[in-house]
Amino acid sequence: MADTPKTATLTIGDKSYELPIHSPTCGPDVLDIRKLYGQAGVFTYDPGFTSTASCDSTITFIDGDVGELLHRGYPIDQLASKSHYLEVCYLLLYGELPTAGELEKFENTITRHTMLHEQMQYFFRGFRRDAHPMATMVGVVGAMSAFYHDSTDISDPYQREVASHRLIAKMPTIAAWAYKYSIGQPFVYPRNDLDYAANFIHMCFSVPAETYHVDPILSRAMDRIFTLHADHEQNASTSTVRLASSSGANPFACIAAGVACLWGPAHGGANQACLEMLKEIGTVDKIPEYIARAKDKNDPFRLMGFGHRVYKNFDPRATVMKQSADEVLDLLGIEDNPILQVAKELEKQALEDPYFAEKKLFPNVDFYSGIILEAMGFPTSMFTPIFALSRTVGWVSQWKEQLADPQLKIGRPRQLYLGNAARDYVDIENR
């Protein structure tokens, strides 16, 4: 016997309305209000959509209260420890972990899509030298639709597939070239003999004048940064991609919209904010002063990179990232870098302080990823571009899922209007 569908009763005045309740695989039940306006003539009010499910999805699940992040059901710590980025990309795109043959074919496809159309170099050269790399990325990613006409028809499954591969493959090249352009060095082309993470590092730090060897510890750390930022459910930039996609926009425009949203400091700039805080602290001897300020409710100073808006007890990504941070610092050392010295001592003192344990202000993934990128030699202006290239597979997976959804409708949020009611125009001489 089938279970009786669950409903909720909403009473407005002397009328009641039955609203369906949907039960997900994981997480709280969802109240279906799609017919509420038609039946009752009212909207719901939810600024930021923090209590509203905008879609159904099978890609990522987060339970912030218990510190859980699942990609297609697999815990993020297992994926980050046992897998690698392109395997996780396959999982996010297609729903299952690949066989050895499927993974080899996918890696080969991505590797051979990493080059950019040669004329795209002129786009980079059109920016000022001091342009932020994210400004460059927003423009270049959006401009891809002007070069790859054969993968912009969203009604064609084959073209959607080609666009997905191109975006994942070319984003590291775009990010690396944005960096090279900002520092006045020549562009370095991708190499097919390097893996995804090592290729990105090589394009960022090698120069034509000499051979550059990518240390496997750094490559593994970068791969983990990519993996741990691959997708994060219906966050601001992912929702932006879905909203842009709902209008039928081409894939490159949709992902460019995601890049633009991620640029916001409240979203993608968290690890940059963390490094700027470490620079503000300056030296190890000032840490107690700043910890005291962080405890003072009347002081505006906040410890960046500690605690998380979503994860209430611990960030499941932070444990794996801490391991990589320790490995990178052991390899590169911190003796000549006061920022990294401050970071290590701040981590130690914060973890030992009962106040931070009580408030659950644990070091999060942004704290450790910021340390790693600083140690590698990336300027803070490159932190968000690296986040963007990591998140591209999540955006693309969500984009593909939405286009295949038979319930797809153009996004059109409602509003609580508090402006003037209708009024007559007054001629200028009478105002």
Cα 367 to Cα 371: distance, rounded to the nearest angstrom = 6
- Which 8-state DSSP code applies to residue 306? B
The DSSP secondary-structure symbol of 404 reads: T
Contacts of 24 by beta carbon, 8 Å cutoff, 6+ apart: 30, 56
327: CB partners within 8 A, 6+ apart: 217, 220, 221
Contact (Cβ atoms closer than 8 angstroms) between residue 62 and residue 233: yes
> 234, 57 in Cβ contact below 8 A?
yes
Q: Find out whether 196 and 226 touch, Cβ atoms under 8 Å.
A: yes
Q: What is the DSSP letter of 74?
A: E
Q: Tokens for 313?
A: 């007890």
Which residue among 3, 366, 405, 424 is the active-site one?
Answer: 366
- B/e letters for 155-175, b = 16+ CB within 10 Å, e = fewer, are eeeebbebbbbbbbbbbbbbb
Going from the C-alpha of 396 to that of each of 80, 116, 238, the distances in angstroms are 20, 19, 9
Q: Catalytic: which of 71, 231, 308, 315?
A: 308
Distances (CA, A) of 235 to 35, 64, 220: 25, 13, 26
- Report the SS3 class of residue 241: helix
Which letter does DSSP use for residue 239 in this model? H
Query: What is residue 71's DSSP assignment?
Result: E
How far apart are the C-alpha atoms of 97 and 287, rounded to whole Å?
A: 44
Among residues 122, 157, 164, 159, which one has the least CA distance to residue 143?
A: 122
Query: Could you tell me how far CA 166 lies from the centroid of its own chain?
Result: 18
Q: What is the DSSP string of 323-357?
A: HHHHHHHHHH-STT-HHHHHHHHHHHHHHH-HHHH
| Catalytic-residue membership of 366 | yes
What is the set of active-site residues?
308, 366
